[in-house]
């Protein structure tokens, strides 16, 4: 990520919600192994920073491809800025800039886009919002019904507000770690259709 992108991240308005960042880089031919080593080192360094939620290196889908993407997430903008402005990250960026071509494509994902971030990383663009809304509803409706039925006997004695708090927390956990990843994989052909001029893979 170049200086311009780093400044954009540093100026992000404060918020407490998780934030996911997707960075796209084209690597110079013959430097793929060096890039992967540096990128993985930067991902490992990020784990030492407070609020880190995860990081992934997405390699090119096609043999010989040189377009790499890095996805990383923090639990708040404040923790994200602490990482993006840190000395360890700048050192890795200097190494990466020397073996990359052109500028960096940076996208900050939030809200529904975060649930679709990993599949979207492979196609470089999240699905349209109406598709994300439809798939999210498909996950939320059965999750709420099932979890409400399962925990209802234990929640009956407590205040309705606390009951809703427990159910929504369980639904959020289920959606983030189980339901949405499964739906994103199952509905990938609809969410991420191949361009019309792209031949099907053999």
What domains lie within the chain, and their CATH numbers? Answer: 3-123 (3.30.70.100), 129-191 (no CATH)
Is the pLDDT at 188 greater than 80? The verdict is no
Please enumerate in sequence order all residues whose Cβ is within 8 A of that of 105, keeping only pairs 6 or more positions apart, or say none. 23, 24, 25, 124
pLDDT at 175 over 60: yes
Pick the range with the lowest mean pLDDT from 44-48, 102-106, 153-157: 102-106
Least confident range from 69-83, 109-123, 135-149: namely 109-123
Measuring CA to CA, how many Å separate 61 from each of 5, 39, 108, 122, 172? 25, 17, 22, 8, 31
Mean pLDDT taken over the chain:
77
* pTM of model > 0.75: no
For residue 23, what is the DSSP state?
Answer: E
* pLDDT band at residue 85 under the 50/70/90 scheme: very high
Q: What are phi and psi of 17, to 5 degrees?
A: -75, 150
CA distance 60 to 128: 23
Q: Looking at residue 113, what is its pLDDT? A: 58
């Amino acid at each position: 990520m170049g200086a311009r992108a780093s400044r954009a991240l540093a100026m992000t308005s404060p918020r407490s919600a998780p934030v996911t960042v997707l960075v796209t880089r084209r690597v110079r031919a013959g430097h793929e192994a060096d890039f992967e080593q540096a990128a993985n080192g930067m991902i490992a360094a990020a784990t030492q920073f407070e609020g880190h939620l995860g990081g992934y290196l997405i390699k090119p889908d096609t043999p010989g491809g040189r377009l790499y993407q890095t996805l990383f997430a923090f639990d708040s903008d404040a923790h994200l800025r602490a990482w993006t402005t840190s000395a360890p990250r700048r050192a890795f960026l200097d190494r990466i800039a020397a073996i990359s071509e052109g500028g960096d494509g940076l996208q900050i994902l939030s809200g529904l886009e975060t649930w679709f971030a990993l599949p979207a990383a492979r196609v470089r663009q999240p699905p349209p919002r109406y598709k994300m809304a439809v798939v999210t509803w498909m996950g939320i409706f059965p999750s709420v019904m099932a979890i409400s039925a399962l925990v209802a006997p234990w929640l009956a004695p407590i205040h309705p507000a606390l009951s809703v708090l427990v159910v929504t927390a369980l639904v959020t956990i289920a959606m983030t770690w189980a339901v949405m990843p499964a739906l994103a994989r199952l509905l990938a052909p609809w969410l991420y259709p191949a361009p019309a001029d792209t031949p099907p893979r053999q």
